[in-house]
Structure 1
């Protein structure tokens, strides 16, 4: 069900391309929550819906209950915080990109657990083997430096790019050689896996990481993320959930949503729609001669625009001005979602085209 602009006193609220969680939830998920609402269930994530969701996810991953545990948490920040805090000792550090979500968007949540972040420059939004090895070499003066113990990456990246199987295989091999754990933030793993640039499967990701999580919040759920933890690291994980306030009494709410997302591939269908809407916007910019600041591989579009056009568009649409450049241009970020209305995308493209034709 596409979202539509709301109008009050004849003035339309600008249509949002700010993020992929401005809408509520896909109607099938809401219907599933209503359908199961009156049933009595075991609490704290031990309900039949959560267990069914775990099995559906394991089927997609190709693993058994003996190989991995799956935990549902309400948010991405809690997924990252708990995953990292559960497996690091106090003197151990996290290697992350300087643009990584845990470095820029989580209010120092990881540092608050007592763990140093070792920041590494991003290349096309991603960690490279060269930069990872350099970070390891620069942080070996033990015991005077925090010891690197975990590599954190996101797929899709903060600029919407995706890791290829070859890239992830190489990073995974370095981690194993260097005694590093590998954690993949999967807030947008749906759009990553649905990308035309992708050649990874959930099974590949499971095999090459130690912990990863599947984002529901940005994929059509009301909220929730599913953390997949290999058995070697799963012991005591539930205590970390409880201590960090993420073990919901009504865990069924998360279980029902993931059950519906994975029951018949709704998860991937919604991700594909988000990607297609972004490609529509991106192709229009390229056709009109605007420069992309990052290749559009998933549902995020980064493009360099002149300030007058940015101001014109902001009267009608909401989006982030990501960076103001010295030459009078700005990098803007536009994000599409499972619910992005194709009509609104066409309107956006028409406004861009109209302004461009009038000013060239």
Structure 2
């Protein structure tokens, strides 16, 4: 427990005191996020909040994990992957990277986590009747999972406080579970609560009206950390020999991440069907639709977090029905809710020039005239 408290408090303090300095430096160097037609803010706002989140998270995690702990060996590889994501995000926040370069960087980070960190989905726990997964299939599925979850928090970061609040919810849940399992899983609990501590401090400055954004540096770090935690959760919670096994672990893990994850999968699918790159920008995210309905930033954040909690509770109480049925129910509910929001969203009115009856008669008359009559008419 001491390690958990130390990590969370240390992460909070580092991030809390770092953010004002980052805001000042960003203003002095004019490192702002400029408003455009896609973005919802109307003024320039610093975007390097992820630097403070990363500093609090990485220092607290390294100091909070006991050096003699068996699982701490994995930590060096998680830290290495986080560093890759950090440099990827910080460069994109300052200079802007192409989608291809960002994707390659994410592949490198995911490869480190899989190859050296031992993070792999090896069992589907009955989803679609699948249990054990062959090694190649496991690597491909894990790579896909890490990339999608990493990008999901990046893409959901569209209004003040949303990505940070969802990240806080997920890390608190994962951290509490790993802490309950005991010392063998302490490294994952420390990671989760370190990130939670940093996010609490960041949200003080980011909740509407935001004084700073986390940028790609912060959102990609949240996504990478959650991808590691959820894969470990699925593998561990689905093991009947652990202290607190959970039936349908993949479904519970999916429910914990459902708001950012479902929104990303939905938007990726729409873009691919439109023959566009899945990373091409648009305004089809759920927070954009809620903004079109007139919701404020605070209302959107609270609505999405509340909805996520309801999905988690639903999945947990239905865990006895099996992974396939629960995921099917979750997806159906998410599709229905998204469809309702899309249907209620006001449509942009296309201005059409309406022709009056007199104009129609005059136009018809002109076309009916002969050249001589037309000359006489003029």
Q: Which structure has greater strand proportion?
A: 1
Taking structure 1 as the reference length, what is the TM-score of the superposition?
A: 0.28
Relative contact order: is structure 1 or structure 2 higher (C-alpha 8 Å, sep ≥ 6)?
A: 1
Q: Which protein has the larger Cα radius of gyration, Structure 1 or Structure 2?
A: 2
Taking structure 2 as the reference length, what is the TM-score of the superposition?
A: 0.27
Q: Which structure has greater helix proportion?
A: 2
